[in-house]
Amino acid sequence: MSLPTLDFSLILPELVVLITALLVLIADLLWPRAASRGREQAPAVLALAGLILAGLLTLLAGEWSGATLQGMLVADALARYLNLVVLLAAALGLLLSWSYLPHFSTQRSEYYALYLLAVAGMLFLGKSIELITLFVSLEILSIALYVLTGFHRGQLAGGEAALKYFLLGAFSSGFLLYGAALFYAATGATRLADIAAQNAGGFYMLAGLALFLVGLGFKLAVAPFHMWAPDAYQGAPTPVTAFMSVGTKAAALVALFRVVQAAGSVPVGVWATALAFLSLLTMTLGNLAALRQSSLKRMLAYSSIAHAGYLLVGVVAGTAAGFDAVLFYLFAYAFMNIGAFAIASLLERPGFYAVQDAGIHAADGLFGRRPWLAVAMAMFMLSLAGIPPLAGFFGKLYLFAAAVESGWAWLAVAGVLNSVISAYYYLRVVVGMFMAEPSASAHLRLPLPASATLAVALTALGTLLFGLLATPWFQGISR
Amino acid sequence: MVPTHYYLILAAIIFSMGALGVLVRRNALIIFMCVEMMLNAVNLTLVALANQWGNLSGQVFVFIVMAVAAAEVAIGLAIVMAIVRHKDTINVEEINLLKW
Amino acid sequence: MLNYSWLILLFPAAGAVINAFWGRRLGRRGVAVVANLAVLAALIMALIMAAGVRSLPAAAHGRYELTLWQWIGVGDLQVDLALLIDPLSVVMALVVTGVGFIIHLYAATYMKLDDEHHPLDARRYARFFVYLNFFILMMLTLVLANNFLQLYVGWEGVGLASYLLIGFWFHKPSAAEAGKKAFIVNRIGDFGLALAIMWLFFLFGKSAGSLGFHDLFAQLETLSAQNSPALVGITLLLLLAATGKSAQIPLFVWLPDAMEGPSPVSALIHAATMVTAGVYMIARTHPLYEMTPASMTAVAWIGGLTALLAASIALVQTDLKRILAYSTISQLGYMFLGVGVGAYAAGIFHLTTHAFYKALLFLAAGSVMHALHGELNIDRMGGLRAKLPRTYAQFLIGAAALAGLPLLAGFWSKDEILYITYQKNMPLYIIGLFTAFLTAFYSFRAVFRAFHGAPRDHHLHDHAAEQPAGMTRPLWVLAAGALFAGLIGIPAAVGGLFGVEHSHLLEAWLHPVFANVQTPHLPAWWELGLLGASSLIALAGLGLAYARYVRQAGWALRLQRLFSPVQPLLEHKYWIDEIYMAAIVTPLRRLARFFYTFGDQTVIEGAVNGLGRVTAGAGVAVARLQSGVVGLYALSLLLGAVGLLGFFLLFG
């Protein structure tokens, strides 16, 4: 037996995030009276620095690739790409937390440490090529997110959201774990490469993949495993919602790619057809439910369920073009969705005891109050609805084009029809911002913290640039 | 020697019981115990398979699952405590502020 | 220098953005300066582009394509955001920015007052100029597009701007209603354009690899036969789109109502630029039409009949702006007639001269309207010549050019169209000639009724006063255009008399674009004869109007009585609005109501209610699921898992 290969350079970004998480945790010990000296944002600064460093390392590590830790983790182009999406989403969410967190909590270091742990879990999930690491990464990110969801302890909704997320998350983990066990039963291996090499068919493999899809489908908020998502997204602090709605989806999708490829012995027709139906169900349910929401945040939650359905279309296509489209969409989605949640967070009025959710009419007349904010929000809404020339349009275009090319025309048509439905509730917000009079409570001046402004500006810029520069970027992904 | 599939069938039954328990129980703690039962059913499966395949992966997996389950218990109890402080119940049917 | 052409789009965009966000802080003066400078800069850029096109090497065929960025790349299809700079697009850009600039100048003063003659507040003032700059941006996008998709973007963009501007006095129900009408009627046309683009894409998209005009036209060689059914379909759909935007039969009904918009908008969008987009598009896609003589004939007949129909309605209108609106429809009909008989350069020529004199007429009408505090009924005017001498002179020049009085702008361009029509299609020539007579008559009817004779409403008359210089001065530029713009298109026969070769400057300029189109020619004396006939016709129209409205000659009145039976028909515009209402709108509305009650309310609302609300005792599992209770969420998850498992085991 050879000694295990331990090339830590390949997981440097993840290690940076983990170490930063630990540093943030002991930051209170290092600066016991930081708060009194105006350093209350020290944990946030540290966390942001860690995320940026990890991002830089990911970019610099372009040439480093290969498996490490006895073939449990891999650094490849896919993982690198995921790193960028997750770190971007995390950094944007962190900027939002910066001004949002002080409204209801003083436990900054706990919050940011958990936040970074969730990030680390996502990053590791993207690099996992082995069932045990995959499970552990998934649990790291999930457990951290359970706590973050209920972080606003002053209000019942947060605790309720956390409890639902936690119970159902643990429940779905059981299915995922059973799926992993069945893979093991079929092949005797836990490395995805070994599982693929065995090429074993039969009952265990099929059942294993089905149960695995349940577990991953839960994380992706795919119907009918999505029911936790609206509640958890609504109850969680908005920056956490913004971050997890993007990061978790991205990481779970990468895991889905890897698992589906490993289970090569399962006929493509079976899993692709199953995913196609899940995708159809997800987007339809998400969009229909979003039509009737009275809370902006909950509407966005349903919208992100619908988007999980769109993302699955690319996986169903099963071609390289489909995967590329998913990767493109993830970046576009990171910008437009976090941007939308960012503005929702600016519109709500968080207090120590309860958050007053931004209602669907909270954005009415926003153009008169904060014109730039209204323009940014309009961009996010139009992009989410898939209207050119914004990022979301090209994301959908690539996804649906890939689906058509690989013979899933009906799914693409369903996707387009769903986009039409979705345009209704997105445009309602836009029309309200520009046409309607502000609601009665809107006479108060809308505070605009610098960090959140930066986040909105970055996401708006990203939404626009990804639309205008869609083609070069997409070609970059394809390479 | 007991054939492996006996263990697997037993584990499947336990898993199903756990899953049904999650559905029918109202008490958050009991629901969580049912989830633990599901995890342990998988553990049983893994151990039996490790024995059959003659490698240690399954055994290692079980240890990891136990560690994760312990972490989940810690978190779960904390969340339940947070709820009880607001509302004197752990009946999940009464915890339905967020809906529709 | 052509590679800086993108600046022409940047300027109006910047103007719109600046006024949108800082308009209120800039104040009305600042807003006007920003908006005017933006258009002026675009005009200068258009002039630079014209010089650039001139100096292109011969091998370029006068064509320069500037790719700004690759926009869409899916599979084999590549759509760029690119500018096509050639003589045709440069002419259009010059018209849009040139006439646009004058109208901006005029509007800076005009829009200080709202429709009820109260000062317009700075916010709305800024908004008006945001829309106007946005319109210029979209119109330039349209005319400089190098592919169909970009053309479509511009097409929709100008439609949006038009809709917003027609309804600018949105508190007036008639304005809001007119905006809606324009929007709906144009949707029909736009639908045709979208279908045509899709059809083109399916026919040639794969092999051409793009939607670029020239890439697609290069594929036409693969079609050997003329009048191939697919191409006829495409060209007819394009024609439908053009009839919508350019207000031709059958979709012209929105334009008269569009006069509810402020006068500068009527001048810019609904006379000089946007409504000519259809003519431009047909000229731009002429290789398609050259392959389909059947569609060409359709274009020509639609143009000729629209010209006649609209001119006849204009005879009896009493609202000054509506007379001009019908006249615009009629003149657009001439342009369609021109491109329909293959006289593309003549069509563009008429488009250019028309932009000058019609903008002039509308702005002069705007001055009259301001002077009379919103009154536009010519029956209540009369004798304004003394009160508004400058406006009178300007209106007169515009009307004379419109009437086609010899040597003015409208004379040369209209006559060129008629000259080629004469050789291609005799019935249409006669229709065109007769329409020219009607045109001269109604133009001078408006002049005489409004400005000559005794005042019919003394109260209005006494309060009328000449408008400030900010409004009257810019119009002299347009007046000069109305007088002399025709000189860029003197026919060779006339040029020959004075020993000038290539006297038709515009035709020479546009030659690279329409190089493959043959225009037939008759002997010079014959052409001169036709010119003479047109002159006589125009003068006859003028004379009849003079006899009827100034001299009140007995024979002219008797002539009118002779035609009085048709007057109600004309006054009601052939009841076309009513017919559309009864035949199309009402059934559609019923259908929509049906779909609303059945589709929307029963199906969608039902489904939404089902999903969004738990109704007590509902047995539907779906409805119960999002109830907020964990057990049911878990049930959904478990059912999904069992379903997935079953599916895999059943089909795997």
Say what the ipTM of the complex is. 0.95
The percentage of chain C sitting over the pLDDT mark of 90, rounded to a whole number, equals: 25
Taking an 8 Å cut-off on Cβ atoms, the answer to whether A224 and C637 are in contact is yes
At C197 the pLDDT is 84
Q: Which residue in C629, C642, C645 has the most chain B C-beta atoms within 10 A of its own C-beta, making it the best mutation to test that interface?
A: C629
Question: Is the same domain home to C538 and C580?
Answer: no
Mean pLDDT, chain C, integer: 83
Q: Is the pLDDT of residue C370 over 70?
A: yes
For the record, the structure tokens of C204 come out as: 């040639």
At A340 the pLDDT is 94
Q: Are A369 and A376 in contact (CB under 8 A)?
A: no
For the record, the structure tokens of A354 come out as: 């309860």
A224 touches chain B (CB under 8 A): no
Taking an 8 Å cut-off on Cβ atoms, the answer to whether B72 and A230 are in contact is no
Selecting from A162, A180, A189 the residue whose C-beta is nearest the C-beta of B79 gives A162
Q: How far, in Å, CA of C562 to CA of A362, rounded?
A: 66
Over residues C228-253, the mean pLDDT reads 88
For the record, the structure tokens of C332 come out as: 């657009």
How many domains are contained in chain B? 1
Question: Is the same domain home to C474 and C438?
Answer: yes
Pick the more confident residue, A143 or B85: A143
Question: Is the same domain home to C493 and C627?
Answer: no
Q: 3-class SS at C499?
A: coil
Q: What are phi and psi of A186, to 5 degrees?
A: -75, -35
Selecting from B19, B23, B96 the residue whose C-beta is nearest the C-beta of C627 gives B96
Cβ neighbours of C635 in B, within 8 Å: 23
Per DSSP, the residues of A171-225 read HHHHHHHHHHHHHHHHHS--BHHHHHHHT--HHHHHHHHHHHHHHHHHHHT-TTS
Q: Are C434 and C426 in contact (CB under 8 A)?
A: no
* Separation of first and last alpha carbons in chain C: 64
- Number of helices (H), then strands (E), in chain B: 3, 0
Residues 335 through 394 of chain C touching chain B, CB cutoff 8 Å: none
Q: Is residue B29 part of a domain?
A: yes
**CATH at residue B29:** 1.10.287.3510
Question: Is the same domain home to C604 and C482?
Answer: no
Bridge partner residues of C82 (DSSP): C67
Q: Are A364 and A371 in contact (CB under 8 A)?
A: no
At A388 the pLDDT is 72
Which region, left, alpha or beta, applies to residue C383 given φ > 0 means left and ψ of -120 to 50 means alpha?
left
* pLDDT tens per residue, range C119-158: 878 878 888 898 899 999 999 999 999 888 889 888 888 8
Taking an 8 Å cut-off on Cβ atoms, the answer to whether C628 and B26 are in contact is no
With b for 16 or more beta-carbon neighbours within 10 A and e for fewer, the C41-70 pattern comes to: bbbebbebbbebbeebeeeeebbbbbeeeb
Give the H or E element holding residue A67: strand A66-68
For the record, the structure tokens of C88 come out as: 């045709």
Cβ neighbours of A185 in B, within 8 Å: 8, 45, 49
Q: Is residue B54 part of a domain?
A: yes
CA torsion angle C205 C211 C217 C221 (round to 10): -10
Cβ neighbours of A231 in B, within 8 Å: 98-99
Cβ neighbours of B77 in A, within 8 Å: none
Domain containing residue C626 = 621-652
Which chains contact A through at least 3 pairs of Cβ atoms less than 8 Å apart? B, C
Q: Is residue A255 part of a domain?
A: no
Q: How far, in Å, CA of B82 to CA of A156, rounded?
A: 8
Q: How far, in Å, CA of A204 to CA of A265, rounded?
A: 11
Q: Is residue C591 part of a domain?
A: yes
Hey, how many other C-beta atoms are within 10 angstroms of the C-beta on A328?
Answer: 24
Q: Is residue C144 part of a domain?
A: no
At A364 the pLDDT is 80
Q: Is residue B100 part of a domain?
A: no
Residues 591 through 650 of chain C touching chain B, CB cutoff 8 Å: 612-614, 626-631, 634-635, 638
* pLDDT tens per residue, range C44-83: 999 999 998 888 887 777 788 888 777 666 666 677 788 8
Give the H or E element holding residue C380: none
Mean pLDDT, chain B, integer: 89
Taking an 8 Å cut-off on Cβ atoms, the answer to whether A397 and C72 are in contact is yes
A241 touches chain B (CB under 8 A): no
Instruction: Name A236's Cβ contacts closer than 8 Å, sequence gap at least 6.
Output: A148, A149, A150, A151, A152, A158, A161, A162, A244
Taking an 8 Å cut-off on Cβ atoms, the answer to whether C651 and A269 are in contact is yes
Tokens 């084009």 map to which residue? Answer: A401
Q: Are A370 and A403 in contact (CB under 8 A)?
A: no
At C603 the pLDDT is 46
Q: Is residue A411 part of a domain?
A: yes
At A202 the pLDDT is 83
Q: In chain C, whose CA is at the least distance from the CA of B24? A: C631
Of A370, A467, A385, give the one whose Cα is nearest residue A429.
A385
Domain containing residue B87 = 4-92
Taking an 8 Å cut-off on Cβ atoms, the answer to whether B19 and C638 are in contact is yes
At A5 the pLDDT is 61
At C450 the pLDDT is 87
Hey, how many other C-beta atoms are within 10 angstroms of the C-beta on C641?
Answer: 26
Q: Is the pLDDT of residue C599 over 90?
A: no
Q: How far, in Å, CA of C181 to CA of C186, rounded?
A: 8
Taking an 8 Å cut-off on Cβ atoms, the answer to whether A164 and B82 are in contact is no
Q: Are C126 and C107 in contact (CB under 8 A)?
A: no
Handedness of CA C299, C300, C301, C302 (dihedral sign): positive
Q: Is the pLDDT of residue B42 over 90?
A: yes
Q: Which residue in A173, A227, A292 has the most chain B C-beta atoms within 10 A of its own C-beta, making it the best mutation to test that interface?
A: A173
Q: Are A33 and A14 in contact (CB under 8 A)?
A: no
For the record, the structure tokens of C459 come out as: 């109260």
Cβ neighbours of A180 in B, within 8 Å: 61
Selecting from B23, B95, B96 the residue whose C-beta is nearest the C-beta of C635 gives B23
Taking an 8 Å cut-off on Cβ atoms, the answer to whether C628 and B100 are in contact is yes
Taking an 8 Å cut-off on Cβ atoms, the answer to whether B23 and C638 are in contact is yes
How many domains are contained in chain A? 1
Question: Is the same domain home to C545 and C626?
Answer: no
Pick the more confident residue, A227 or C494: A227
Instruction: Name C158's Cβ contacts closer than 8 Å, sequence gap at least 6.
Output: C135, C138, C139, C142, C245, C269, C273, C274, C277
Which chains contact B through at least 3 pairs of Cβ atoms less than 8 Å apart? A, C
Taking an 8 Å cut-off on Cβ atoms, the answer to whether A171 and B78 are in contact is no
Domain containing residue A396 = 280-479
Q: How far, in Å, CA of B67 to CA of B62, rounded?
A: 9
Q: How far, in Å, CA of C59 to CA of A385, rounded?
A: 45
Length of chain A: 479
Q: Is the pLDDT of residue C604 over 60?
A: no
* pLDDT tens per residue, range A209-225: 999 999 999 999 998 89
Length of chain B: 100
Give the H or E element holding residue C70: strand C64-74
Cβ neighbours of A398 in C, within 8 Å: 74
Q: Is residue C21 part of a domain?
A: no
Instruction: Name C217's Cβ contacts closer than 8 Å, sequence gap at least 6.
Output: C287, C288
Taking an 8 Å cut-off on Cβ atoms, the answer to whether B71 and A139 are in contact is yes
Bridge partner residues of C187 (DSSP): none
Low-confidence ranges of chain A (pLDDT < 50): 1
Between the ranges A106-115, B83-92, C420-429, where is the mean pLDDT highest?
C420-429
How many domains are contained in chain C? 3
Instruction: Name A38's Cβ contacts closer than 8 Å, sequence gap at least 6.
Output: none
Selecting from C613, C631, C638 the residue whose C-beta is nearest the C-beta of B92 gives C631
At A441 the pLDDT is 58
Taking an 8 Å cut-off on Cβ atoms, the answer to whether C627 and B98 are in contact is no
Q: Is residue A360 part of a domain?
A: yes
Cβ neighbours of C614 in B, within 8 Å: 99-100
Hey, how many other C-beta atoms are within 10 angstroms of the C-beta on C591?
Answer: 10
- Which region among A155-159, C290-294, C306-310 has the lowest average model confidence (pLDDT)? A155-159
- Which region among A402-416, B83-97, C30-44 has the lowest average model confidence (pLDDT)? B83-97
Q: How far, in Å, CA of A460 to CA of A343, rounded?
A: 11
At C614 the pLDDT is 35
Q: Are A12 and A80 in contact (CB under 8 A)?
A: no
At C73 the pLDDT is 67
A207 touches chain B (CB under 8 A): no
Question: Is the same domain home to C631 and C560?
Answer: no
- Which region among A84-88, B15-19, C211-215 has the lowest average model confidence (pLDDT)? C211-215
Q: Is residue C166 part of a domain?
A: no
For the record, the structure tokens of C465 come out as: 């006063």
A190 touches chain B (CB under 8 A): yes
Q: Are C325 and C270 in contact (CB under 8 A)?
A: yes
Q: How far, in Å, CA of C155 to CA of C476, rounded?
A: 31
At C333 the pLDDT is 93
Q: How far, in Å, CA of C32 to CA of C37, rounded?
A: 8
* pLDDT tens per residue, range C607-618: 444 433 433 232
Q: In chain B, whose CA is at the least distance from the CA of C632? A: B23
Shortest distance between the Cα of B78 and any Cα of chain C, in A, equals: 18
Gyration radius (Cα) of chain A, Å: 21
Beta strands A73-75 and A66-68 are: antiparallel
Q: How far, in Å, CA of A324 to CA of A308, rounded?
A: 16
B19 touches chain C (CB under 8 A): yes
Residues of B with CB under 8 A from a CB of A: 8, 15, 18-19, 22, 28, 31-32, 35, 38-39, 41-42, 45-46, 49, 52-53, 55, 57-58, 60-61, 64-65, 68, 71-72, 75-76, 78-80, 82-83, 86-87, 92, 95-99
Taking an 8 Å cut-off on Cβ atoms, the answer to whether C612 and B25 are in contact is no
For the record, the structure tokens of A436 come out as: 């309607």
Q: How far, in Å, CA of B84 to CA of A263, rounded?
A: 44
